[in-house]
Amino acid sequence: MRVRFWGTRGSIATPGADTNHFGGNTSCVEVTTANGDLLILDCGTGARQLGAALMAQGKKAINANILLGHTHWDHIQGFPFFTPAFVKGNSVAIYGPEGSRGPLHGVLAGQMEYTYFPIDLTQLPAAITYHDLTEGIHTIGGARVATQFLNHPAMTVGYRVEADGVAIVYLVDHEPFSDALWRAGAEPGRIDSILHEGDRRHARFMADADLVIHDAQYTPEEYPSKKTWGHSAYDYAVQIAAAAGVRRLALTHHDPSHNDDFISDIERKARTLALQCGTGLDVFYAYEGCELVLEPRSTLKPFVAAAPFQASVAQRHFHILVVDDQPDMLTLIVRALEDDQYTVSQATSGLEALRMIDEHMPDLVVLDYKMADMDGMAVVKTLRARPRTQRLPVLMLTAMTDEPSTRAGFEAGVTDYVTKPFSIPQLTARVRACLARAELVIA
């Protein structure tokens, strides 16, 4: 399997003399399998040069599979300049997570409205198909492709591509689920010592991969002031990849304010940290034009997902109960969920919530931890003790970011644990992930 980086920058294209080495184009990675299947991970501005290179090969027909992690600008802006889409006889299959506002086709058509671009999406001569994905295992080209939700203020998936006896995992635009990576008292460096279930799932998804391409937009010093923006610092990526037994780690989605000298410097620090982890993990910062050939190995075990396939939730209608005793916060969350077309009811205390759940079972409860009469943890414990609500998904909101609180939340049976401050798009993406995962349990 051959992997080539065409775009490594995050957020916005950053050309210039001091970004020449690591690159100024936004996210785009070309993956070619041994039998010639072409998978393109993200379609940032790097996709323009990739398209030109594919055309220059003079093939009779180009069949491209574009796998979008999500549809923020820096991941789709290269698509209107991807020349193979402008040639009849070529085919382009576009994949992306469902649950952004509207289907993938509509979201991509939006950036090609005449206000923004002179050619309408429907006018492109290549055969273009759209595939909205949820979590699960898919076949794309000849490859086995697993998807899993990431933590980002938009519906975002990571991709694990398995083909030719090799696994590469693309985890771009993702931030840690929790401030602390390890459980207190547990041996660091092991997947089962990871504190937050989300981070543990993230580690399992990349386990034993030959190559992981991971978001590392920030330094550990920068991250605290950029929390909830949806990106990682290199220390998180290095530690989690080492725990997961990953062989090689390419750090990417470079911050626009980081020039080549700065990235070279943090690359040294990331390598030192990897050495300290002691697992033999090879770390580097991805640069434009970087090409890797991954040799097959017989020891590769196919990834086994927690659930084999999650059915689409796009057509389903959900009822969500929001419980918070602070009126401003309650209104903010209710409005955001109503904007996403959910039916939302609200309660201002734990007791009221339990009564409402008895009367009418919601699909999900968004529950504040700290409330005056009965706190969120007591509500969860009550729900888990009753057979009818044992598996009712509960997303807990809390300002308590300390390790014991997070651990207590998961031990009590919380489905997901979101710490304040959070952003509204981050919360709605986490709500969507909870609903997508819950569907199979309830059905």
Binding site for Zn ion (CB under 5 A): 10, 72, 74, 173
Rounded Cα–Cα distance for residues 92 and 35 (Å): 18
E-state strands within 50-198: 63-67, 91-97, 127-133, 136-140, 143-149, 157-163, 166-171
In contact, 33 and 142? CB cutoff 8 Å: yes
DSSP SS3 for 82: coil
78 versus 393: smaller Cβ distance to Zn ion: 78
42 versus 235: smaller Cβ distance to Zn ion: 42
In contact, 76 and 51? CB cutoff 8 Å: no
- For the record, the structure tokens of 277 come out as 């982890």
Shortest approach of Zn ion to residue 152 CB, angstroms? 6
10 versus 96: smaller Cβ distance to Zn ion: 10
156 versus 310: smaller Cβ distance to Zn ion: 156
Shortest approach of Zn ion to residue 213 CB, angstroms? 13
Shortest approach of Zn ion to residue 378 CB, angstroms? 37
In contact, 130 and 138? CB cutoff 8 Å: no
E-state strands within 253-400: 282-285, 291-293, 319-323, 343-347, 364-368, 394-398
Shortest approach of Zn ion to residue 102 CB, angstroms? 17
Instruction: Tell me whether residue 405 is exposed, middle or buried, using C-beta atoms within 10 angstroms of its C-beta: 0 to 12, 13 to 18, 19 or more.
Output: middle
- For the record, the structure tokens of 356 come out as 């409402």
286 versus 380: smaller Cβ distance to Zn ion: 286
155 versus 305: smaller Cβ distance to Zn ion: 155
Shortest approach of Zn ion to residue 158 CB, angstroms? 13
Cα–Cα distances in Å, from 377 out to 394, 398, 411, 419?
Answer: 11, 10, 10, 14
Shortest approach of Zn ion to residue 54 CB, angstroms? 23
